[in-house]
Amino acid sequence: MKLPALALPERIGWRDHVIGALLGSTYVAWLLSTARSLGFPRDEGVYFRAAADYVRWWRMLLEHPHEAIQQGAIDALWSQNHEHPALMKTLFGVSWWLLHEKWRVFSDASTAFRLPGMCMAAVALWTTYLFGARAWSRQAGLVAALLLGLMPRVFFHAHLACFDVPIMAMWILCVYVHWRAQERRGIGWALAAGIVFGLTLETKHNAWFLPAALVPYALFVHRRALWRGLKAGRVTLPASLVSMAVVGPIVFLALWPYLWNDTLARIQGWLEFHLHHEYYNIEFLGRNYFGPPSPKIYVPVMVLATVPTVTIALFSVGVWERGTLAMKRLRAGIRGLLGRPAGDAPRRDARETDLLLALSLLVAVGPFFLSRTPIFGATKHWLPAYPVLALWAGRGFVVVAAAMRRALPALDGRKKLAVEAALVASVVFAPLAVTAHSHPFGLSSYVPLVGGTAGGADLGLNRQFWGYTTQNAAAEYLNAKAPRGASVFIHDTTWDAWGRMQEEGRVRSDLRAVGTPHEGMFALVQHELHMSEVDYSIWVADGTDAPVYIVEQDGVPIVSVYRRQ
Amino acid sequence: MRWLERWQKWAFAAVPAIGLLELAAHAVQTHSVVPERDWKAARAYVVSQAKPEDLVAFAPRWVDPVGRELFGADVATLEREARPDESRFPRALEVSIRGAHVPGLEGWRRSSEQRFGGITVTTWDNPAPVHLVDDLVSMVDPQHMRVTRADAGGREAECTFVHGSPQSGGLGAGPATPGDRFACPGGGIVGASVMADLDYFPRRCIYAPPTGPGVLRLRFLGVRLGRVLHGHHGIYVEAERMRTGSPVTISFKAGDATVGSVVHHDGDGWKPFELDTSEVAGQRADVVAEISAPSGDRRMYCFEADTR
């Protein structure tokens, strides 16, 4: 499909940035329109608080720079949540300060906090589109970006002032810039590769793994030059790698004032926090995991259960096509080495796009096949793999569309356009329907392949985490039915989250949160396997095992509401 | 090989077909939620059929909260929901959706089946029904029970029965302490509670955590004895799952006769036991349960027993 009506030039350029920006801004608009119906997970409350502290420090830096750079001032305002780097929390804070506190663009502080995360989702779609367009075709890029945005888990996490979608965006941006740096080989792109790597490090610790993809890739692309250099007795490294090694850490340190004092000890503390991270409970196939060994089939099962199946099908087509080409190239290369005629070897891609994408995917998801890697984040920890999955799905779409054109050669004009539009619709409608339906229970939703939300529950897949569904219990029951001043045991929801929900009018302000079931007139249970114990405590404390209301998604219990007898 | 060429030519259609199938499946799945009227109809039937001694259970496990909400606590009683096992019930009414079954009813005889829209109520007969004589969990009150705690030196102190308010916590806090309980001097309680076992099933049981060296002694007054003392014991899941805690021993006496003892090691889960009481069958006697552990650290121990 050539998108004839748009009549875009062959060359990818500024118009494609406009397309990418349009995709991204449409996505942000969708996220903004649905943000108010999504409660606040545990982590978000912590990040809101940290973000407000961080922006206070930046304001202090502008107003009283000498005081701001004293260790006392830095430690006072940067110690909150120092186990995660500062970029996103700084952006959350700046957005909150400007768009809520100062200019009142958003009446909800939370929406202002969340906006940078949503914008990062837009960056991911934009970059994915550009990557696909430059690597193969606009059609591939467009379908890839759409399918990335139409993954229910991506949509869920894209709402939040957290780091999972931002690291997905920064990961693919880093890979993209690095790819461009090998293609363009100018100092500008090399510098950009270092800066973006520094920003990625500043986003989340997944970035530690990126060099495992980018270094072998760059060395492979430059293998001939490297070999020539070695033969001449010198080592010549790709400029992008040098930039990553030099500029990256400078950017990283510059943007995280907490590391400006006791630098090595604090970096060590950061590393150790994540290398020895606590294992939280999570259900998988009916069993509660709370420590190693993690199940080896966790990643494939969860990907199949949460990524729309048609996206997986297109990804498989894309991988098959690219893999077949790679095998042909490999065979031709071996024949060449053996001095035999190379035959009809496919044209070499000087950018080695498929190698980079393969490395990126493997490195993003590889750690989650290790038995010692905690799995408590469900799919969110390997979101950086999804843009690549989407890109190969986009490529798969191109292959399918080409096969359709070969099968229907007689079609032309409007009919051809209609059939091609129908093909796009056939691969986009299901992901769109599944994703739209998943909200606001994105963590409870599973794709039709496993039977939807109820199928996921049948399989014993995790229902939710972080206690964010208290808002739904309030919206559907408590706000209307609880007596004035009633006390509510809020279970897994944090005080921060509860307070913010009341401040923003999501939960009635007269309701009082309590920390134990027996203190509450009402008690909530956010259903997860390991949270059953809280359910049973409520039975004893409240004198009944019958909830008065249940928040459900497709008939599956999400939150039970009890009222003390 | 024309068919192969034709297949290859049209193979691309598999992808849009998957997309359309996925869309159709999504529409079906999201519109096949069992409506409340089916639950109400099923409840009316179950209420008309179930006797107090029958089990009423919901399947699959995840739909249990919905069953409790819509059937109410008078049908989905604590005794049924937090049962020690299914063996004590002569008959079970299984309320199920999506073709699921209660695993504990495997091997039971299906006697009838009724459908109410998306709900199937199956009546199962226990192939080996037992005659339950006395249930120790229902004897946790000052009329039927005395509790003492003996320290390591053998000094025994009475634990008094109190009507307090229940004490409960969030994740990791352990079973709730019931309002009606025996409270021991220097700490320690005994009361009927509901514990999450190692597989997170609810178990209605006598919560009697040993508090270190010494013995927690529970005397059940005038128990009618049968041929066996049948029971289970376990430790609250988060206290057991790391498998680092001390074993807990429970010993039973009936009158002057020693019935036997069983040990619970971390990892055993909700562990069944059955002790022979045939020599004293038909008699009425005090049953004494002595609970001890080398260390009381996180020994959130709970047991249940009946005579049959």
Residue burial A412-433, b: 16+ Cβ < 10 Å; e: rest: eeeebeeebeebbebbbbbbbb
pLDDT number for residue A342: 66
Report d(CA A475, CA B190) in Å as an integer: 40
pLDDT number for residue A337: 83
Residues lower than pLDDT 50 in chain B: none
Closest CA to B55 of B33, B18, B82: B82
pLDDT number for residue A298: 97
**Chain A interface, mutation test: which of B68, B199, B201, B243, most A Cβ atoms within 10 Å?**
B68
**Chain B interface, mutation test: which of A423, A514, A528, A545, most B Cβ atoms within 10 Å?**
A545
B23 and A557 in contact by Cβ < 8 A?
A: no
**SS3 state of residue A512:** strand
pLDDT number for residue B259: 96
Report d(CA A23, CA A154) in Å as an integer: 15
Question: pLDDT tens digits, chain A, 565 residues: what are they?
Answer: 555 555 788 899 999 999 999 999 999 999 999 999 999 999 999 999 999 999 999 999 999 999 999 999 999 999 999 999 999 999 999 999 999 999 999 999 999 999 999 999 999 999 999 999 999 999 999 999 999 999 999 999 999 999 999 999 999 999 999 999 998 888 999 999 999 999 999 999 999 999 999 999 999 999 999 999 999 999 889 999 999 999 999 999 999 999 999 999 999 999 999 999 989 999 999 999 999 999 999 999 999 999 999 999 999 999 999 999 999 988 888 888 888 876 777 788 889 999 999 999 999 999 999 999 999 889 999 999 999 999 999 999 999 999 999 999 888 888 988 999 999 999 999 999 999 999 999 999 999 999 999 999 999 999 999 999 999 999 999 999 999 999 999 999 999 999 999 999 999 999 999 999 999 999 999 999 999 999 999 999 999 999 999 999 999 999 999 999 8
A557 and B66 in contact by Cβ < 8 A?
A: yes
In contact, A52 and A96? CB cutoff 8 Å: yes
Tokens read off for A298: 């966790």
Residues 6+ away with beta carbon under 8 Å from B155: none
| CA of A203 vs chain B CAs: smallest distance (Å) | 31
Domain at B134-307: CATH code? 2.60.120
pLDDT number for residue A427: 98
- CA A338 to the chain's CA centroid: 45
Residue A369, judged by CB atoms within 10 A of its CB (0-12, 13-18, 19+), counts as: middle
* pTM for this prediction: 0.95
In contact, B87 and B56? CB cutoff 8 Å: no
pLDDT number for residue A5: 54
DSSP B259-273: EEEEEE-TT--SEEE
| Domain boundaries, given as residue ranges, for chain B | 36-125, 134-307
**Percent of residues in chain B assigned helix, strand, coil, to nearest 5:** 25, 40, 40
Nearest chain B residue to A423 by CA distance is: B16
**SS3 state of residue A185:** coil
Q: Residues of B with CB below 8 A from A537's CB?
A: 168-169, 173, 175-176, 194
Question: What ipTM was assigned to the predicted interfaces of this complex?
Answer: 0.96
Residue type, A362: L
Nearest chain B residue to A311 by CA distance is: B19
Report d(CA B19, CA B13) in Å as an integer: 10
**SS3 state of residue A262:** coil
| CA of B86 vs chain A CAs: smallest distance (Å) | 19
Output the CA torsion sign for B120, A460, A281, A557. Answer: negative
pLDDT number for residue A185: 84
Q: Residues of B with CB below 8 A from A317's CB?
A: 15
A517 and B168 in contact by Cβ < 8 A?
A: yes
Residues 6+ away with beta carbon under 8 Å from A73: A57, A60, A67
